[in-house]
Amino acid sequence: MEHAHYFKRIAVYKVEGEDVSVVDVQANNVLTPLDPWMARVVLLADGQHTIAQLIQHMAGQYAEGAPENLVETVESVITRLSESDVVELTARPSLLPYYIRLPLDEQDPKEATKLMLKDGFIQAKQ
């Protein structure tokens, strides 16, 4: 995995207390809860930071030193999130659209829906 790549969310998410879920806006907002590692990566996937920066940030969370398998764990989490269409890797930084940038509960529903339709993120119901 190329650590110079940027990672960004490509799915809507919801935060409830300590719990983070991915929201399937195509299927009546069905929630898929994330484990703590995946949740952390999703919350940090703002399109402005590289995988190397994520690893450095995560290593700094351990007062007595990061675990030996930290790099492998982060790579595994990113791979699984990428395969699930929750995050995407890019060669350059990118700005997230409104409906991806903010948690679902912080969005204006009408504005988010309008932008999702405009961007082709969702299709109008017929």
What does the pLDDT look like over 85-109, one tens digit per residue?
999 999 999 999 999 999 999 999 9
- Residue 110 inside a domain? The answer is yes
Q: How many CA atoms lie within 13 A of 71 on its CB side?
A: 5
Q: Is the pTM of the predicted complex or chain greater than 0.95?
A: no
pLDDT at residue 124, as a whole number: 82
Which residues, given as ranges, of the chain have pLDDT below 70?
Answer: 126
pLDDT at residue 5, as a whole number: 98
Give the number of domains in the chain.
Answer: 1
- Residue 22 inside a domain? The answer is yes
- Residue 125 inside a domain? The answer is no
pLDDT at residue 125, as a whole number: 75
Compute φ and ψ for 15, nearest 5 degrees.
-120, 125
7 within 8 A of 89, measured Cβ to Cβ: yes
